[in-house]
Amino acid sequence: MGYWWIELGGEDDSIADTETIRDELLKIVYGMWDHIKNHGDHGAENWALDWIQFLPGKRESRRYIGDHVLTQNDVEAEGRFEDRVAFGGWTMDDHHPAGFKFPGKPTIFHPAPSPYGISYRCLYSKNIDNLMFAGRCVSASHAAMSSTRVMATAAVMGQALGTAAAMAIKYKISPRAVGKSHIAELQQTLLRDDAYIPWLPMMFNDLTRRAALRASSGNPEPLRDGINRPVGDDQHAWIGQTGDSIEYTWKDLRHVDRAVLVLDSALHRL
């Protein structure tokens, strides 16, 4: 059973009361199973329950305060921050604090654009110089967190944070200083590592930009438009058939030390 609406804790202390909340949730789960198996026409008479998760998953708990607190207004405005380093796209779904005890609809959905940008300033502490965070504890309001909390969004925030932490070590500076002095480098590093940042193209060197680019079929120019994800109906890709080819050529001898092949892995679905 994976019913997301079997939840409690919104009216309690989700940290101090964890064990009490867990015990109540177990009662609800076994009650639900009793109903499904033994009451009503659910076709579950011969089913067996062989496993129960005893550690509740926390939807919401502590959140840190960064130089910027992502809000519902930010999400609805597409998060077009100059220092955006990650993105989300899940709807903002505001669960009722009473959870399972509430007799009405379990959530209110507030539409969110897909994608929207997430500011780097949401990923480091406002008052602790060496503290960074990603996931459900980022600097976001309750409403914004109801979208940023999902695993795929948490993962891309984690990639951005990890890359920024490496840069902070490289330059011997604070996470805040990375954002103030090296944000373009951080963004381009993420893009080269196959991250996606909405409305921000990857920059190519002169070798790539000045080459003559030809394909045996179709238009190859999307290969260097800097966008490595489908956006709307635009695939931002060259699609070839078996036996097709592409070619970069230059007027004179050039040294090429590597070629990068980016495949469409349907990551826009994140």
For residue 140, the SS3 value is: strand
**Percent of the chain residues topping a pLDDT of 70:** 97
| 92 CB-near residues (< 8 Å, 6+ apart) | 72, 75, 109, 110, 111, 112, 143, 144, 146, 147
Q: What is the rounded average pLDDT for all residues in the chain?
A: 93
254-261: long-range contacts at Cβ-Cβ below 8 A with a sequence spacing of 24 or more? 254/207, 256/207
User: In the chain, what percentage of residues exceed pLDDT 90?
Assistant: 82
Interhelix angle 183-192/151-171, rounded to 10 degrees, is 120
H/E stretch holding 110 reads strand 107-110
Residue type, 177: A
**2-26, pLDDT tens digit by residue?**
688 899 999 999 889 999 999 999 9
Q: How far apart are CA 237 and CA 58, in angstroms?
A: 39
Has residue 269 got a pLDDT over 80? no
Residue 211 CA to residue 240 CA, distance in Å, equals: 20
Residues 197-216 have a mean pLDDT of: 95
Instruction: Give tens-digit pLDDT for 155-206.
Output: 999 999 999 999 999 999 999 999 999 999 999 999 999 999 999 999 999 9
Output Rg (C-alpha) for the chain, integer angstroms.
Answer: 24
Per the DSSP assignment, residues forming a β-bridge with 212 are 249
Domain ranges in the chain are: 1-58, 72-192, 201-270
By DSSP bridging, strand 212-215 and strand 246-249 are antiparallel
Confidence (pTM): 0.89
Tens-digit pLDDT profile for residues 52-67: 888 888 888 899 999 9
SS3 34: helix
